[in-house]
Structure 1
Amino acid sequence: MPRTALRTLAALAPFLLLTACAGSQPTTKVTADRITGNWAGPHGEKFSFAADRTFTASGLDSKNLTSAMCTGKPTEGGWAFYVAEGKQTEISDESAKSGSWIGLSFHGAAENCRIDLAVVDGGKALCATDDRDAPCGLDVKFTRES
């Protein structure tokens, strides 16, 4: 490989690493009471999680969520923490009292919406993702509304 190509590659390597890690963020295990309440995303996305493991949502048609096939119309569904069932198998379990990943089950017109939420920033934020290897893969971070 010519020297100029090696220098170019060396100069680009840090940027390539940053891009590869953009969706990677450590998750935090929290109890269900830390999830209940109202959460808002950066582009008008909203979730309201209830203690009975139901939720309402709106604005999930933002550009970052288009690949997840979500609708912007108000919708509802159920939520649960993922728990380990086997060595490499996890299922959402409505009886789980804590977790770091939240499985969402949408009802009605939004049933094709395919996102999960990862608990990040020490439990202060929820990241939308469609890839368990990238907790913030869809680049939509929800924070609790005051």
Structure 2
Amino acid sequence: MHRTALRTLAALAPFLLLTACAGSQPTTKVAADRIAGNWAGPHGEKFAFAADRTLVASGLDSKNLASARCPGKPSKGGWSFYVATSKQTQISDKTAKSGSWIALSVGGAAEYCHFDLAVVDGGKALCATDDPDAPCGLDVKFTKES
């Protein structure tokens, strides 16, 4: 019985490690000018971030973002970096010059679209998330278009 348990654990270990690491992607602090531009997701999701902290988004009703209740049609909004006000509290600040987490307001109201973006891969990608403990929690990664 002991050997069977060890074999089962050995067979499951790679899957347990993969699951444990899925949400633990490290974030990267970047300057606002690195965010400005066009970003695309894997299923037609798009963001056009402007330097003045406005944005145009489309395709945000994709399968992986369905729970966020975002519009699919082109929608205007705004973006800002989250900044720490204490060790356990963060707020979005449209004047912050850099950050590693991005607050979104799409469709004219912050409560309309429920997800944020985490800056990952050394600033080369943005991950959609609805969980501050899982930077890529919604499994949609945006890359900047050239």
TM normalised by structure 1 equals 0.93
- Tell me if structure 2 keeps the 8 A contact 1:70–1:110: no
- Tell me if structure 1 keeps the 8 A contact 2:71–2:107: no
2:22 aligns with 22
- Tell me if structure 1 keeps the 8 A contact 2:125–2:142: yes
Q: How many residues align?
A: 146
1:142 aligns with 142
Distance in 2 (CA, whole Å) between partners of 1:64 and 1:32 is 26
Q: What 5-or-longer segments of structure 1 have no aligned partner?
A: none
TM normalised by structure 2 equals 0.93
Q: What 5-or-longer segments of structure 2 have no aligned partner?
A: none
Work out the percentage of aligned pairs sharing the same amino acid: 83
2:6 aligns with 6
- Structure 2 letter corresponding to 1:104: L
SS of residue paired to 1:21: helix
Distance in 2 (CA, whole Å) between partners of 1:18 and 1:140 is 17
- Tell me if structure 1 keeps the 8 A contact 2:31–2:98: yes
2:100 aligns with 100
- Structure 2 letter corresponding to 1:136: C
Deviation at 1:125, TM superposition (A): 0.7
- Tell me if structure 1 keeps the 8 A contact 2:57–2:106: no
Deviation at 1:101, TM superposition (A): 0.5
- Tell me if structure 2 keeps the 8 A contact 1:84–1:90: yes
